[in-house]
A and B are shown apart, each in its own frame.
Chain A
């Protein structure tokens, strides 16, 4: 019997264009995070740790690297004979089929997948959030409240509340009002974009939404407000913990850098709730005689001959002699050659910075994106280049 109590759907199809050079060649969930992880590791590991073994991953934008990373899901112990990971790209049928047009549309197009497992509950996850959450606790809450839809919420600072979708709840945590980016927020509970639906309710909602030509087919903008109007039992599950949307260069940079702080809130070191990843098998990292490393995270396969301060080195990074790296994130297999200086930069995967370069030098008085320089994947910066802080450096094509 294939029936599952709960099926998770991971929305991983968005382009993530605000991450600039980092998502030009790959979907956002496949972007490297915190050295050895990729963003999708967190959602997939949450599923594993919550015993949710059926995961559909909705993909659309530049899927190859994401697909090959996920594989059969065995890196997350999701290669289960009765369920497991399913990659769900857009597809054609006899008469229907199109690209995914909005998050709700993507799920609507895959209703056959969900029906195949005929679950009681469907969890909608976003592939670009970084957090640790036991979905079972949420599911328990959902059942206890006899809820039809449960939104995960998080308290945000009042002054920032107007940037989020804000929920107003009554004493029993039932949602009474949902406002997208209110000017005068009357609550500081923000929606995390993570939902639990009763499948019967979701199915009905998706069919209605699909028939509405005004709709943008988005969960946050259309489905949830519509269900509130219909007076469905919608509850808020308040999440206390670390949660970051890493959708912009600035938020991506800060979320990475936070992991250098001692007693890091997310605590990726916690062995009781492990984050799994599909890593390359590389030897231990090597620190040369002249290597100096301070307050940094270093992954396997790195070779460090220079000076690294307040930085994150993903697997397989090479740092040449007399190189200085400060406040930077070097993604997998980056090579920095002799006497180059890299300051406050995110260097994309496989990128190479030749010798005597200066990346992130002071330029404009008020630089873009807080002065974070971003270099695209696979780019090669020629010898002696000088790149100003806050620049986005793209490959020529």
Chain B
């Protein structure tokens, strides 16, 4: 058991998900056939032996709580510790700039006060990864660090916008935290901060107390300002797949699951990703089904053609329909002879026969929840 508790900021929203995050925070967006994005952060913490996890929720938290229940599927329905809901302060969804807004912690200070553990592991809730934090916690302890920032070496800045990069000295101590805007274009491989960190609980309490008078300030801003006086180190990881901010991100991260090496990192190792169990029956294929290079969850009935796609639980694909490069979320019903290409269908969408839904790789077509076409 690790000497840490967890906090997941599951309250970040996005306007660039074209409606996928309209009625839910990014953390609650379904992903990978049977998961929600939050599952990856939650399971990683649980698999690291963290059994007390606080979840900062946004205003629209129904989908999150529907998914989580008492946390039983993550073994978090416990006497000692367990899952704690930390209601976020802002009405509506917080902006992208405040990943770790201090005010959210200030209003839930008791969660931090009443535990006795040494450290707090903090993660954002909009990333796809499977990390065992044990290694970083060991590192944090060995270095007697105040804060350990988790980073990934990355050489492709293409789709990284306002993300942060670290400058490290030979002892892995962080000498500078800067964002992309300050970078000259052709750069060598740089440690890229992946929005996960370990911080001493006492220090975090101090910070929250000292900055309580300032409205909303991000924890990372505070750490950057106090870089000189704090012992801040960087610990590497290799098992992140990526952040989800835009529809393009969502499509890319989803489709990357079709590659074996990504699935190996994410799903096929020792540490499982846990999720809400539905007890669906196995998926049924009829004689007309034609499926290739696709991920298909349980409880589906498949009579159509599926190629390079991800099909969620309980989807019905009728004979003659054609699904290509698409993501079909749970309980969708595609009638005979309908076609989709580069489309993302949110839950419970009905597509009647002969409809053709077509998006493109860079601009996939998103169909809102419960739409009937």
Residues of A within 8 A of B (CB): 34-36, 74, 260, 262, 268-269, 274-277, 279, 281-300, 312-313
> Is B273 a contact of A283 with CB atoms below 8 Å?
yes
Taking residues whose C-beta sits less than 8 angstroms from the other chain, chain B's interface range is: 35 or more
The residues of A that contact B272 with a CB separation of less than 8 Å are: 281-282
Beyond A279-B277, A283-B33, A284-B310, whether A297 also contacts B283 by CB under 8 A is yes
Beyond A284-B310, A285-B296, A287-B294, whether A293 also contacts B289 by CB under 8 A is yes
- Listed by A's residue number, 11 A-B pairs whose Cβ atoms lie within 8 Å are A36-B282, A275-B279, A281-B274, A281-B275, A283-B295, A284-B298, A285-B295, A285-B296, A287-B294, A287-B306, A300-B298
> Is B285 a contact of A298 with CB atoms below 8 Å?
yes
Known pairs A281-B274, A285-B295, A312-B282 / 19 extra A-B pairs, C-beta < 8 Å: A35-B281, A35-B282, A269-B299, A275-B279, A276-B279, A281-B273, A283-B34, A283-B266, A283-B295, A284-B32, A284-B310, A284-B311, A285-B297, A286-B294, A287-B291, A287-B295, A291-B292, A295-B287, A297-B285
> Is B293 a contact of A288 with CB atoms below 8 Å?
yes
Task: Indicate whether B284 reaches chain A with its CB closer than 8 angstroms.
Answer: yes
The residues of A that contact B275 with a CB separation of less than 8 Å are: 281
Q: In the complex the two chains form, what is the Cα distance from A34 to B283 in whole Å?
A: 11
Say what secondary structure dominates the interface of chain A.
loop
> Is B283 a contact of A285 with CB atoms below 8 Å?
yes
> Is B273 a contact of A298 with CB atoms below 8 Å?
no
Q: How many A-B residue pairs have CB under 8 A?
A: 99
> Is A295 a contact of B283 with CB atoms below 8 Å?
no
Task: Indicate whether B16 reaches chain A with its CB closer than 8 angstroms.
Answer: no
> Is B32 a contact of A283 with CB atoms below 8 Å?
yes
> Is A277 a contact of B279 with CB atoms below 8 Å?
yes
State how many angstroms separate the Cβ of B275 from the closest Cβ of chain A.
7
State how many angstroms separate the Cβ of B308 from the closest Cβ of chain A.
9
The residues of A that contact B266 with a CB separation of less than 8 Å are: 283
Pick the contact of A300 from B73, B258, B286, B297 — CB < 8 Å? Answer: B297
Least CB separation from A276: chain B residue: B279
Pick the contact of A299 from B267, B286, B298 — CB < 8 Å? Answer: B298
> Is B293 a contact of A283 with CB atoms below 8 Å?
no
The residues of A that contact B306 with a CB separation of less than 8 Å are: 287
Instruction: Pick from A287, A295, A299, A312 the residue with the most CB of B within 10 Å.
Output: A287
Instruction: Pick from A268, A283, A299 the residue with the most CB of B within 10 Å.
Output: A283
Pick the contact of A36 from B281, B291, B292 — CB < 8 Å? Answer: B281
The residues of A that contact B274 with a CB separation of less than 8 Å are: 281
The residues of A that contact B32 with a CB separation of less than 8 Å are: 283-284
Nearest 5 pairs of A and B residues by beta carbon: A284-B33, A35-B282, A284-B297, A297-B282, A283-B267
